Chains A and B, each alone.
Chain A
Amino acid sequence: MIHFVLLISRQGKVRLTKWYSPYSQKERTKVIRELSGLILTRGPKLCNFVEWRGLRVVYKRYASLYFCMCIDEDDNELEILEIIHHYVEVLDRYFGSVCELDLIYNFHKAYFILDELLIAGELQEPSKRTVTRLVAAQDSLVETAKEQTSSITNIIAQAAK
């Protein structure tokens, strides 16, 4: 099971955190600090796994961002690398060649996509197309709801004239 997902920039700034096991706010800050110290200092050619407090952290760097997932000792580390890549590819499809700024300004979208990919620390959907389709469908639901409210306000405004 994945205990948490972290996105950390090369400068150590947190871009996304998702916790599937309970960690208090204090513990979260501590975990992030510890892990960024561990991971950001590792050289480029080393393996993508770090042992940490009896768990494993699998990380992968994409441009300036480190995608980290923390798993149990007996989980498949290589598969987690695939899941990270899977997530990145979906982000890429959704934003159209994603960059760090996309994730900063649209962090909620990144979370929505992650929620279509993982629940309870387990993989939910192996098909990228399905994930993008589901997110897009929900986005359009939001759009129509917005249009409705704005048209209602227009009607009220006109009636008030």
Chain B
Amino acid sequence: MNPFSSGTCLRDMIRAIRACKTAAEERAVVRKECAAIRASINEDDQDYRHRNLAKLMFIQMLGYPTHFGQMECLKLIASAGFPEKRIGYLGLMLLLDEREEVLMLVTNSLKQDLNHSNQYIVGLALCALGNICSAEMARDLAPEVERLLQFRDPNIRKKAALCSIRIIKKVPALAENFINCAASLLKEKHHGVLITGVQLCADLCKVSSEALEYFRKKCTEGLVRTLRDIVNSPYSPEYDISGVTDPYLHIRLLKLLRILGQGDADASDRMTDILAQVATKTESNKNAGNAILYECVETIMSIEDDGGLRVLAINILGKFLSNRDNNIRYVALNMLMRATTLGAQAVQRHRATILDCVKDSDASIRKRALDLLYLLVNDNNVKPLIKELIEYLEVSDQEFKGDLTAKICSLVEKFSSEKIWYIDQMLKVLSEAGNFVKDEVWHALIVVISNASDLHGYTVRALYRAFLTSTEQETLVRVAVWCIGEYGDMLVNNVGMLDIEDPITVTECDAVDAVEVAIKRHTSDLTTKAMALIALLKLSSRFPSYSERIKGIIVQNKGNVVLELQQRSIEFNRILQKHPKFRSALVERMPVLDEATFSGRRAGSLPTAISTSSGAPSNLPNGIAKPATAPIPDLLDLSSDDVPAPSFSGGDFLQDLLGVDLSPTPAPSGADMPPKASTDVLLDLLSIGMPLPVQTGLSASDILSSSQDDKAPFVNFNGLASLSSLSANATSPANAAPMMDLLDGRGPGPQKSEENDQAYPSLVAYESSSLRVMFNFSKQRGSPQTTLIQATFTNLSSNVYNDFLFQAAVPKFLQLHLDPASSNTLPASGDGSITQNLKVTNSQHGKKSLVMRVRIAYKTNNKDVLEERQINNFPQNL
């Protein structure tokens, strides 16, 4: 015997490991054992091979690496005896998975064992194959398994059936070989073979429509008969589970019937009787019976409509819902969720019970119930339901608040027909769980508030009240601070008092106090503090008498370690000190924010977000400042529109930039003007402007004082703009759209615009009576060969297109990369569109222009439509 191999047997090793008191001790024991096993492996010690492997399996279960034992499995499998093979196959299944290269080496042994004369060895091989085979192995060994489906011993047939499931899942193309054998398994009497056969048929239907058709035609009758037999079968002790004969078989038969009945009225019709029988006759006082009922309900819901059966099914679910057992209630909620798509009316009846489930102590049930309730809310019941949910929000668990808040906000937004109700509910949510509210939700709230001009006063007062009671909620503080900044005068003077409101006396001092509290709160993050600074700046003009005090607060942040805050406070301080005339115009109230733009942006913001994030940070004043990322491009965009011609003439270009000049000059340059040039212009302007005496009495150097020695002044200028991020809008009270950018926190970065060296006209690539395809082109800087194409598909007909698929082919000198489409459903009548990005690389750039063949397939009115076309009219030089 090998002197290094430990003499311990498996039992001793387990005992030694269990005796360890600390993790370190355990590691030591395992290390020693592993060393011994390795030594033994190196010695090629045959006597202890299976014991070593058994030890390794235990060690692996504890989470230690055991890859060095993989080859031992193969050796054991290759040996002749049953005991070695048994352990070898077990090790194979535990120590390896299908992605391991070593697994390929076992294919040959498996093939031999599948043909072995000992049926138990065949069984071992089938089991291993079924549990871990890879696609290659499936291809190699499928014929063996197929043959074993007709083996004389039923225990091999059932193993082969399950093994086939794995094979067809790995290689769906092999499915057709198994259809006939699977169908013959359905006639078996042996329960094991029968349930595995039914399962195999179900999985075949999933991967092959041919199989589905075949079984639907040939086997529906037989399956219904089998189910009837088993339902009516007398007591048989071998298969009985709490009074039901073989519930597993019941369930699998119901599952297969569901697949066959779905979308086929004839097949559905043939199974209604037996389904009704199962639904009414099955005992529902034990879990096994309930499992069958559950499956039966799902089948009834999925097959083609039979009104009577569905009522029966919903009633069963109703009974489930009132069951005391949590498991039953859980599955009932789960099922009702699927039932809502069929008829919400029947489910509505259980609304009260479902609402109770939202408040259940069990997290799984709460989550299910909330998802379900979300689907049940409509115009009629939204108000009481939201009231209940918000009341529950106060007492719910911390970990549930996130989910609950998101759902409430989404519902309130969806059904926000009355603005005052929307604002009220949102304020409640913000004060209860403001920390869980997502950014876009409170952004949307601000947009709505800004639009509801008659409610400004009401809102700001309500926010002020809420702020006094709950300063812990970050987003509440932000919205409150923003509103106080904007509508501070209304807060103080009780402007626009509503009848339902309690009068409140707020002095100017109180308002400033509130903002000061917000800025001094320890928990306030950067965004909140930055917003508070802007609010202070705004208040300084609304309440001139408190100007000095406000300046004091702003100055306190001059030494702030966060660059963003420091910069804001220095610059604001400058504005307050030096330019009292300028100030009031600068901090005017924001114009109404455009709701449509905002919601459009939320929906379609993804691509832009990606392009900004790619290269933006290099020019940012502060890489981490979130609000700072967006305004830069806007200022540049704005300036490229407004600055050019007129600003040379006067020294008031700064006013132009800041948009103080309320009549923006027409933008002759338009969007087509190369942005690169515009930034140059800006630089020029700045360098010219600085020494110039300016009429309004403010000098450029003042504004730029904090950044004079910087190499690229416009960057810092952006800094100034960015610091106005959410509310200052110092940039342009006249222009509403860019402000959306400020609010949105996203926008095409300047880098992006620089990347587009040249603009290409968009192209209507394809237009028929039913469909229009638009191509927008752009180039990546530095790679003229590559063209990015954004394809936009619009439906011109009045029918919805489903399964929409766009395919394109290009000649050899081109390379095409297709990104996934934004959706595969195209709403009717141009009511929305699908976009898809393509990347084309032209290896003959400059010599040949693009050419492309496209094919568009979709389903409308359940008909497949295919449109094809060659596109030759691409712009030159792409």
A16 to chain B minimum Cβ distance, whole angstroms, is 7
| B538 contacts the other chain (CB 8 A) | no
Q: Is the CB of A49 within 8 A of B120?
A: no
**Selected contact of B98 from candidates A22, A77, A142, CB within 8 Å:** A22
| A127 contacts the other chain (CB 8 A) | yes
**Selected contact of B86 from candidates A128, A130, A138, CB within 8 Å:** A138
Q: Which of B353-399 contact A (CB under 8 A)?
A: 361-365, 367
Residues of B within 8 A of A51 (CB): 364, 367
Closest Cβ neighbor of A129 among chain B residues: B238
Q: Is the CB of A145 within 8 A of B192?
A: no
**Selected contact of A112 from candidates B90, B191, B326, CB within 8 Å:** B90
Q: Is the CB of B364 within 8 A of A50?
A: yes
Residues of A within 8 A of B120 (CB): 137-138, 141
**Selected contact of B158 from candidates A29, A105, A124, A141, CB within 8 Å:** A124
Q: Is the CB of B83 within 8 A of A145?
A: yes
B123 to chain A minimum Cβ distance, whole angstroms, is 8
A134 CA / B127 CA spacing, docked (Å): 13
| B660 contacts the other chain (CB 8 A) | no
Q: Is the CB of A108 within 8 A of B87?
A: yes
Residues of A within 8 A of B63 (CB): 14, 29, 32
Q: Is the CB of A127 within 8 A of B131?
A: no
Interface string of A14-31 (1 = CB under 8 A from B): 111111101111000100
Stretch of A61-69, A90-98, A115-123 that contacts chain B = A115-123
Q: Which of A131-148 contact B (CB under 8 A)?
A: 134, 137-138, 141-142, 145-146
Residues of A within 8 A of B288 (CB): 82
Stretch of B241-249, B592-600, B670-678, B788-796 that contacts chain A = B241-249
Q: A20-B131, A82-B248, A126-B195 are in contact. Are A120 and B61 (CB under 8 A)?
A: no
A17 CA / B93 CA spacing, docked (Å): 11
A78 CA / B295 CA spacing, docked (Å): 9
**Selected contact of B247 from candidates A46, A79, A124, A127, CB within 8 Å:** A79
Residues of A within 8 A of B90 (CB): 108, 111-112, 115
**Selected contact of B192 from candidates A50, A82, A126, CB within 8 Å:** A126
Residues of A within 8 A of B83 (CB): 141-142, 145-146
B24 to chain A minimum Cβ distance, whole angstroms, is 17
Residues of A within 8 A of B54 (CB): 108
Interface string of A79-109 (1 = CB under 8 A from B): 1011100100000000000000000110110
| B740 contacts the other chain (CB 8 A) | no
Q: Is the CB of A46 within 8 A of B87?
A: no
A22 CA / B61 CA spacing, docked (Å): 16
Q: Is the CB of B127 within 8 A of A115?
A: yes
Q: Is the CB of B159 within 8 A of A126?
A: no
A15 CA / B248 CA spacing, docked (Å): 26
A128 CA / B240 CA spacing, docked (Å): 10
Residues of A within 8 A of B126 (CB): 119
Residues of A within 8 A of B295 (CB): 76, 79
| B648 contacts the other chain (CB 8 A) | no
Q: Is the CB of A47 within 8 A of B330?
A: yes
B97 to chain A minimum Cβ distance, whole angstroms, is 5
Residues of A within 8 A of B159 (CB): 119, 124
Residues of A within 8 A of B247 (CB): 79, 82
B132 to chain A minimum Cβ distance, whole angstroms, is 8
Q: Is the CB of B127 within 8 A of A126?
A: no
Residues of A within 8 A of B326 (CB): 45-48
Residues of B within 8 A of A43 (CB): 361
| B287 contacts the other chain (CB 8 A) | yes
Closest Cβ neighbor of B63 among chain A residues: A29
**Selected contact of A47 from candidates B62, B127, B166, B364, CB within 8 Å:** B364
Q: A14-B61, A46-B326 are in contact. Are A78 and B192 (CB under 8 A)?
A: no
Q: A22-B98, A76-B291, A122-B165 are in contact. Are A145 and B65 (CB under 8 A)?
A: no
Q: Is the CB of B162 within 8 A of A119?
A: yes
A105 to chain B minimum Cβ distance, whole angstroms, is 6
| A125 contacts the other chain (CB 8 A) | yes
Q: Which of B128-183 contact A (CB under 8 A)?
A: 130-131, 155, 158-159, 162-163, 165-166
Q: Is the CB of B239 within 8 A of A126?
A: yes
Closest Cβ neighbor of A20 among chain B residues: B131
Q: Is the CB of B331 within 8 A of A119?
A: no
Residues of A within 8 A of B65 (CB): 25
Q: Is the CB of A141 within 8 A of B192?
A: no
| B81 contacts the other chain (CB 8 A) | yes
A11 to chain B minimum Cβ distance, whole angstroms, is 12
Residues of A within 8 A of B82 (CB): 138, 141-142, 145
B200 to chain A minimum Cβ distance, whole angstroms, is 9
| B199 contacts the other chain (CB 8 A) | yes
| B653 contacts the other chain (CB 8 A) | no
Residues of B within 8 A of A129 (CB): 238
| B465 contacts the other chain (CB 8 A) | no
Q: A81-B287, A111-B94, A119-B163 are in contact. Are A49 and B330 (CB under 8 A)?
A: yes
A14 CA / B62 CA spacing, docked (Å): 7
Residues of B within 8 A of A107 (CB): 57-58, 61
Residues of B within 8 A of A18 (CB): 93-94
Closest Cβ neighbor of B246 among chain A residues: A126
B104 to chain A minimum Cβ distance, whole angstroms, is 15
Residues of A within 8 A of B18 (CB): 104
A146 CA / B51 CA spacing, docked (Å): 14
Q: Which of B772-800 contact A (CB under 8 A)?
A: none
A103 CA / B786 CA spacing, docked (Å): 62
Closest Cβ neighbor of B291 among chain A residues: A78
Interface string of A26-56 (1 = CB under 8 A from B): 0001001000000000010111111100000
Most chain A Cβ neighbours within 10 Å, of B120, B330, B367: B330
A32 CA / B61 CA spacing, docked (Å): 11
**Selected contact of B195 from candidates A15, A78, A120, A123, CB within 8 Å:** A123
Q: Is the CB of B97 within 8 A of A24?
A: yes
| B251 contacts the other chain (CB 8 A) | yes
Q: List 14 A-B contacts (CB under 8 A).
A: A14-B62, A17-B94, A51-B367, A76-B255, A77-B334, A82-B241, A105-B14, A112-B86, A119-B131, A120-B163, A120-B166, A122-B165, A124-B195, A126-B191
Closest 6 CB pairs of A and B: A78-B291, A47-B326, A119-B162, A119-B130, A120-B166, A46-B362
18 further interface pairs, Cβ-Cβ under 8 Å (given A47-B365, A78-B331, A105-B11): A17-B61, A20-B131, A23-B97, A47-B362, A48-B326, A51-B364, A77-B330, A77-B334, A78-B327, A79-B291, A108-B87, A115-B90, A120-B130, A122-B165, A124-B195, A126-B239, A126-B249, A129-B238
Q: Interface residues, chain A, CB within 8 Å of chain B?
A: 14-20, 22-25, 29, 32, 43, 45-51, 76-79, 81-83, 86, 104-105, 107-108, 111-112, 115, 119-120, 122-130, 134, 137-138, 141-142, 145-146
